[in-house]
Structure 1
Amino acid sequence: MTLADPQAIAAFDAASPAAARKPAPTPQSRAARSRQTGLLALSWVAPVLLLLVWEALCRSGYVAPQILPAPSKVALTAWKLASTGSLFHDLGVSLLRAATGFAIGGLIGFSLGVLVGFSPLAEAAIDRSVQMIRAVPFLAALPLTIIWFGVGEGQKMFLVSLGVVFPIYINTVLGIRQVDPKLLELARVQGLSGWTTIRRIILPGALPSILTGVRYALAVAWLALVVAETVGAQAGLGFLAMDAREFLRTDVIVLTIVIYALIGAGSDSIARLLERRLLRWHPNFGGSGR
């Protein structure tokens, strides 16, 4: 037997530890992957059909370009703005504002949620005030935030943080309160300390609800940013849309709406990926108990 013998190489590969650890794909796993691919393709059918119908209506003259420009026109406008660099500048400014506001609001919402979730005293002192502030619309709070912060970056980040706080706060409290009492009883029987119980049982049990709050907060962050960027902004997607309104550039306005939609879909996909990674142990997310 020589090193070039194909049968020897195949036998060596089959006997190697890596080959032994890697299970052969089963018909069930292949069918599951095929089904996921089919569902992914199906999810794009409606958007593609919408674009085709939209383009056809615009080209046939049923929709005036001043009312709603064709997708090809919007794509051409995006290319022109991207080639000058202005689109990427405005997009970067908006992303930075959203990320900063989300980080601040997320930290505050999670901290308050943990505090209220574990302490009935904190709930009595904090929760009613939080719920009252949550009921205030962004547009109603806008004049006051302008008086407080002016029309600079502080006003925009404050509105984004304000919108992010409540979804994460509510879902954090809900997740902590919905932890299975049997698991808490098991921790008591096993003699786990309070911190170990929180770290190993309560927070992992609340994580699905917390991540749901994160997904919802991502959408609210962009909604708050749109409101914030309509006043006194010198850059950003909201500024781009408001400036286009002054010149009746419906193609630019539609472009900003499309960008908002794409960013929302992308951020939701990232949140879903985070769910699958952090909740691999959960049967409803990871698909297995490992």
Structure 2
Amino acid sequence: MDKLERIDKINKGIQLLLSNNQDIISLISIGSFSQNSIDQFSDIDLYLFTNNPKKYLDNTNRSWIDPLGKILSIRIFKDLQEGVDKNKVVLENGLMYDLTIIDIKKIKLISYYLKLKDIGLVWLLPKFLKKGIEKSILKFYETIKRGYKVHVDKINLKDILERTITFSRMISPDKKIDEKLFFRHYNFFWQSCYTASIKLIRKDFYFTILTYDNYIKKELIRMIEWEAMLREKSTDVFYCSLKIYDWSREETCDDLYGTLLSDNIENMQKSLIKTAELYQKFSTLVANEYNFSLNKEFENFVIDFIKNVAIPEALNNKEILSENI
């Protein structure tokens, strides 16, 4: 199936979905499909707005989705990062639909809030409600800010979306990094790196991968994101390193390959060193920008520990294992 055939098949499926489910009030697509830039591996990201969300989150009822094609797999879950309910479907032809199900009441609440904002009466809302709505608006903005396509709109959703974008750009938090935030993440990285090395000495390599390596990599990416936004304030860093080859330097992407944990304890310890050294590079760039004083003593302690204690320990264990064999 080439690109044009794929797009045509998706569009026909969406039209059948809409004609068979009249309780879909609005439907938009985001991501590559909305921008006509899909390839053979792209999934289809759809936001489905309805007054009957339970219908689309019922794992026992799949009749509503039959127009899309034969289902191979379906997964219903709460996306904690976006704070929304999702229904992810894989079809027999390989197409994967990532459906976000939105109760139309939430959109009406956002619309009501924006109207109050326009006439200067938002102060009438309780603080907790105002804060909650603004948080929802900002999360929604992160989803649609890169572009979207409207497939059906029975409530003038496009106007609400555009007002959401305008409002979010006005209240988006300043990207400046304060000292408390910086060191909370900085200290977490170095302590996690030290703990990971100790866990590897104890041969808890899988626990290290699932837990501490996850912590470390997230903190490394966070620092790379901060540095990228310092170089160019308008940089769109997506999230969790998504599309890093678009927003970061090419050499950074190459360096990240060396941080991946390998096939034995010794090489895992060496990858920790590469991760730590890469983190040093980017944390220094960010710290210099804000005149933060880094804890070089602890940085050197961690790296020296891995080089002079952890790696020799791994080599010693390897020799003992060879002798026993």
State the TM bucket, normalised to the shorter chain.
under 0.3
Structure with larger Rg: 1
TM-score by length of 1: 0.24
Select the structure with the greater relative contact order (CA < 8 A; seq sep ≥ 6). 1
Structure (1 or 2) with the greater helix fraction = 1
